[in-house]
Structure 1
Amino acid sequence: MSGTIRICFIGDSFVQGIGDPEHRGWVGRVLEATGGDITAFNLGIRRDTSEDVLRRCWQEVLPRTLPGSDNRLVVSFGSNDMVQENGTVRVGAARTVENLASILEEARRQAITPLVVGPPPVVDAGGEHLRRTAALADEMAALCRSQHVPFIATTLELADDPVWTREALAGDGAHPGRGGYQRLAELVGAGQWRAWIEQPGS
């Protein structure tokens, strides 16, 4: 690692870790497995869409950065965007990708090194929501590839995971317990996280 690292994790209830009886979520578990000199800030808010995250992102992230430090940003949203309300999705996929592009552009301008974690599945939202979310995740991944930003896919990987599914259905239908968040943490940790965390920051 490149000295002291400050990481803001911004996104929705999955970032917040709702449903975890240990109150660690995947963020706490990834940090625990990573170790090192990291100062972390969890900025997840339940029900937030990409519009909500974009609206509050920089007023929350910038005060938590430190000049001369290795400042990082982990972004994760999209599951709430794809939820249907009153016959339409809360945020269209094209707009979600635009919101992500805006955040990545500003991160580059602020010399903050980003990483994107794809939207997890919402089990009780059904097959159509899963298809929409998986398609959105593909578009987000394509954007990240074009900008050389690490993207960690989670949607289909967790949709097929029996621990995630079982715990979500035993809870509120969307959020898992400790086992499901451990699965998500393992997905993140087995992805591009280690290379990202060990590279020098912007």
Structure 2
Amino acid sequence: MNTGAIGHRICCFGDSLVNGVRDGEKGGWPMRLGRRLLDEAGREVTIYNLGIRAETSDGLKARWQFEASLRMVEEFPSVLIFSFGVNDANHAEDRGEETTMRVSPAKSATNAAEIIGAACKLAPTLWVGPQAVIDGSKSSQEINQRLEGLNQIYLETARGFDVPYLDLFALTLKDDIWQRALRRGDGYHPDKVGYDRLAELIWEWDGWKSAVGLTDETR
């Protein structure tokens, strides 16, 4: 066990795919990562699941820093993890127009830069890119097209701030496990198997391993 990593406080910010909507085990991928850190690496970390259902980057920008400040203390190392984008790309419900996004690409890009730029000054920061919705109807295909564009914007933004970015869009669009899990869910949220899949992908990510101090020996 690496005792220097005991006490990590890990804040996971995002939307319902962070929160774990439709997850039969509850808690989504943050809960799974915390459990594995304890069971497999002996790390007594504190995981904060700070996902809010239906939240866009507008809402996240307004709240994340205050919520992080309540949970970050000098005695313990902190990690900030962000994952958002699906709600930005979703159809604007108030206008009833499929061609209108809830948050425009330009505004989403600005929000992302403000969030990640400020976060990486506070603590080690990780960015989990948006996951594809179900590859099915015309409506969901349109959302996936928008997500593909946002994913590229986010990837370039992450590079600009030298923040590790886990690019999941293309993988989850074609991944049979993820797509089947979405079909068993509601097309936007997977069942528990989908959250298992996300947690596994994040767990094996070098960015995650580095941020929490995992090595081959501790894994």
Q: What TM-score do you get using the length of structure 2 for normalisation? A: 0.84
Q: CA deviation at 1:32?
A: 2.3
The aligned residue for residue 208 of structure 2 is 193
**What do the CA deviations read for 1:176-199 (whole angstroms, capped 9, x no partner)?**
111111111111122221122218
Q: CA deviation at 1:30?
A: 2.1
The aligned residue for residue 26 of structure 1 is 29
| 2:114 pairs with 1:102 | yes
Alignment RMSD:
1.7
The aligned residue for residue 39 of structure 1 is 46
Seq. identity, %: 33
Q: SS where residue 34 of structure 1 aligns?
A: helix
Q: Distance in 2 between matches of 1:135 and 1:105?
A: 20
11-20 or 126-135: bigger deviation:
126-135
Q: Distance in 2 between matches of 1:43 and 1:107?
A: 15
19-28 or 33-42: bigger deviation:
33-42
Q: For structure 2, which runs of at least 5 residues remain unmatched after alignment?
A: 215-219
Letter in 2 for 1:181: Y
Q: Distance in 1 between matches of 2:148 and 2:34?
A: 26
Q: CA deviation at 1:168?
A: 1.6
Letter in 1 for 2:179: T
Aligned equivalent of 2:8, options 5, 15, 36 = 5
Mapping 1:1-202, distance limit 5 Å = 2-3=4-5, 4-35=7-38, 36-85=43-92, 86=95, 87=97, 88-109=100-121, 111-123=122-134, 125-191=139-205, 192-198=207-213
In 2, are the aligned partners of 1:150 and 1:196 still within 8 Å (CA)? no
Q: CA deviation at 1:61?
A: 1.3
Q: SS where residue 80 of structure 1 aligns?
A: helix
Q: CA deviation at 1:105?
A: 2.4
In 2, are the aligned partners of 1:154 and 1:184 still within 8 Å (CA)? no
Q: Distance in 2 between matches of 1:100 and 1:69?
A: 26
In 2, are the aligned partners of 1:79 and 1:133 still within 8 Å (CA)? yes
Q: For structure 1, which runs of at least 5 residues remain unmatched after alignment?
A: none
Q: Distance in 2 between matches of 1:34 and 1:144?
A: 25
Q: CA deviation at 1:22?
A: 0.7
Change (3 A) 1:185 1:80: same
48-57 or 63-72: bigger deviation:
63-72
Q: For the pair shown, which has the larger CA radius of gyration, 1 or 2? A: 2
Q: Distance in 1 between matches of 2:33 and 2:120?
A: 24
Q: Distance in 2 between matches of 1:134 and 1:8?
A: 26
**What do the CA deviations read for 1:90-113 (whole angstroms, capped 9, x no partner)?**
00122112112111222244x221
**What do the CA deviations read for 1:140-171 (whole angstroms, capped 9, x no partner)?**
11111121101011112111122221222222
Q: CA deviation at 1:69?
A: 2.1
Aligned residues: 198
Q: CA deviation at 1:66?
A: 0.6
Q: What TM-score do you get using the length of structure 1 for normalisation? A: 0.91
Q: Distance in 2 between matches of 1:38 and 1:141?
A: 28
Consecutive aligned runs of 4 or more in structure 1 exceeding 6 Å deviation: none
